[in-house]
Amino acid sequence: MKNSWYKLLGPGLLYAGAAIGVSHLVQSTRAGAEFGYGLVWAVLLANVLKYPFFEAGPRYAASTGKSLLSGYESLGRWALYLFVGITISTMFIIQSAVTIVTAGLVSEITGLLVDPWKISGGLLLLCTTVLLIGNFSFLDKAMKLIIVVLTLTTIVALVFSLLGTTEQYTMYLKTFSFQDNENVLFLIALMGWMPAPLDISVWHSVWALEKSKEIGQKIPLKTALLDFKIGYVGTLFLALCFVGLGASTIYGTGIELEASGGGFAKQLINIYTNSLGSWSYYIIAIAAFTTMFSTTLTCLDAFPRVLTPASGMMFNKVNDQSKKIYWLWLLVLVFGTIVILSLFLKDMKTMVDFATKIAFITSPILAILNYLVIHGKTMPEEDKPSIFLKYLSWIGIAYLVGFSIYFISLSMH
C-alpha cells in the first residue's frame, strides 16, 4: 500500500469535527452542571445504541465504493426522497444552532457588542470563503490539528478541575428524575445529538469517497472502520470529559447556565480558566472557538455536498454540473440560516434544544433506512455487520422509536 494507514485517516476525524460541537460543549456541559454525573449513563447509552447506524456510512462506502445515498436509492426512490425531505427540513435549524454557539464564542473573545445574527452572518461568509479556497483537502488536514488541540486542552482542564475544589451547597444538588417532565425533555435534547445527528452517517460515506478520490485508491474496509472507531471513541471520551467539567465546576453551586450564546461562551471559558488559571484564557478560547468553527464549517460543507448527488439522482442528471449545484445549495443554506437567526432567534439554549429534539425525532427513520441498506442486497455478504451488531441495531431501533413516541406524547400534554 503506497500510503501509510495514518494518511488514510480523515473521514472519521471529519465525523468527530462535526460531532464535537453543540452536543459536547453545550449539552454535555449542561448535563454535568445540572445533574452532576447522574446522566453519564445516558451519554454511554446513546453512543452504544447509535453505533451500528453511524458505522453504516464508512462500511457501505468502503465495501461498495458508493455513498449511502445510492443505498437509499436501491431501497426505492421513496427512501431517497424521504432522506432529502428530512435534510432540507432540518438543515437550516441545525446550521443555525451550531453557528449561534460559535458566534457567542466570537462575541466573548473579541468583546464585539454586535447582534448575534450579524456575527453569525460574518462567520458563514468566512466559512464559504474557506470552502471556496480550500475545499475537501483543507477540511481533512485542518481537522487533525483541531481535534488534537481540543483533546489535549480538555483533558488538562478536566484533571485540574478534579484536583481543585468547588464549594457545593446541598440545596442546589439535583438528581435526575423520570417523574419530572423538564428533566425528561432535557434528556431527549441531550440524547438527540449525542454523539451527533444520524445524518452524519450519510455525510461520512460521502467524505469517505472524497478521501478515496484524493489519495487515488480505494480505502480497505478494515482501515475505514479503524478510522471511524478512532473518531467515534474520541467523541464519546470528550463527551464524558465535558460532563465531568460541568459536574466538577458548576454542579451544586447554584450557578445558572446562561441562555445567550455570549453569556454561555463566557461561562464555558471560565470553567477552564478557573481550573487552569487565567494564563490559559486564550489557549482555551482558541480551542473552544476552533471546535465550534470546525463544526460550523463541516456542517456548511456537508449539507450541500450530500444534496448535490441526491439532486442528481432525483432528477436523473449527470454530475457534470455538480460544482454549480453544490454552490447553489450552499448559498441557499447560508441565506436560510441568516434569515432564521435574524428573525426567530430568542436565545441560544432554546434554539439548541429545539434543534436537538428535531434530530431525536428523525433518528428512528434514518436508523431504519441505514439498517435496511447495510443488510440489503447491494451490500456484499462478506462485508455485512456481525450478528452482534445486527442485534444491537434492533435494540437501537426499538430505543429510538420508543423514546420518540414517549417524547411526542409528553409534548402533547
pLDDT digits (tens, 9 = 90+) for 222-262: 989 999 999 999 999 999 999 998 888 888 777 777 766 66
Distance CA 53, CA 263 (A): 35
CA angle 342, 344, 349 (to 5 degrees): 105
| Contact (Cβ atoms closer than 8 angstroms) between residue 306 and residue 123 | no
Q: Which domain holds residue 388?
A: 5-411
The pLDDT assigned to 2 comes to 46
* Rounded alpha-carbon distances, angstroms, from residue 93 to 275, 328, 349, 376: 34, 18, 13, 32
For the chain, how many structural domains are there in total? Answer: 1
H or E stretch including 63? helix 40-64
- Residues with Cβ within 8 Å of 270's Cβ and at least 6 positions away in sequence, in order, are none
Helix axes 281-314, 11-19, angle to 10 degrees: 110
pTM of the model: 0.88
- Residues with Cβ within 8 Å of 299's Cβ and at least 6 positions away in sequence, in order, are 18, 94, 95, 98
Burial of residue 76, with CB atoms counted within 10 A of its CB: 0-12 exposed, 13-18 middle, 19 or more buried: exposed
Distance CA 190, CA 181 (A): 14
Distance CA 342, CA 132 (A): 25
| Contact (Cβ atoms closer than 8 angstroms) between residue 118 and residue 379 | no
The pLDDT assigned to 246 comes to 86
Distance CA 285, CA 336 (A): 28
Distance CA 382, CA 44 (A): 29
- Residues with Cβ within 8 Å of 134's Cβ and at least 6 positions away in sequence, in order, are 142
Distance CA 406, CA 188 (A): 10
**Residue 248: φ, ψ to 5°:** -85, -20
Domain of 282, CATH number, reads: 1.20.1740.10
Q: Which three cell numbers stand for residue 237?
A: 471520551
| Contact (Cβ atoms closer than 8 angstroms) between residue 211 and residue 219 | yes
Distance CA 37, CA 355 (A): 24
The count of residues in the chain is 413
H or E stretch including 163? helix 135-163
The pLDDT assigned to 35 comes to 92
CA-wise closest residue to 195 among 150, 154, 159, 240: 240
CA angle 354, 360, 364 (to 5 degrees): 150
- Residues with Cβ within 8 Å of 311's Cβ and at least 6 positions away in sequence, in order, are 317, 325, 329
Burial of residue 219, with CB atoms counted within 10 A of its CB: 0-12 exposed, 13-18 middle, 19 or more buried: buried
CA dihedral 361, 366, 369, 375 (to 10 degrees): -120
Amino acid letter for position 400: L
pLDDT in tens, 263-290: 777 777 877 777 667 877 877 787 778 7
CA-wise closest residue to 17 among 177, 263, 166, 204: 204
* H-state helical runs in 221-321: 221-249, 261-276, 281-314
| pLDDT per residue as tens, the chain (413 positions) | 445 555 656 788 888 888 887 778 888 988 998 899 999 999 999 999 999 999 999 999 999 999 999 999 999 999 999 999 999 988 998 898 889 889 888 988 888 888 888 999 999 999 999 888 876 667 667 777 777 877 888 888 888 878 876 666 666 678 888 888 888 888 887 887 788 889 999 999 998 898 888 787 888 899 899 999 999 999 999 999 999 988 888 887 777 777 666 677 777 787 777 766 787 787 778 777 877 888 898 899 899 999 999 998 888 765 556 788 999 999 999 999 998 888 876 666 677 777 777 777 888 999 999 999 999 999 999 999 999 999 999 999 999 998 888 888 877 76
Q: 88: how many CB neighbours lie within 10 A of its CB?
A: 16
**Residue 376: φ, ψ to 5°:** -95, -170
CA angle 103, 105, 110 (to 5 degrees): 95
**Residue 194: φ, ψ to 5°:** -110, 115
* Backbone region of residue 219 per phi and psi (left: phi > 0; alpha: psi in -120 to 50; beta: other values): beta
Distance CA 317, CA 80 (A): 15
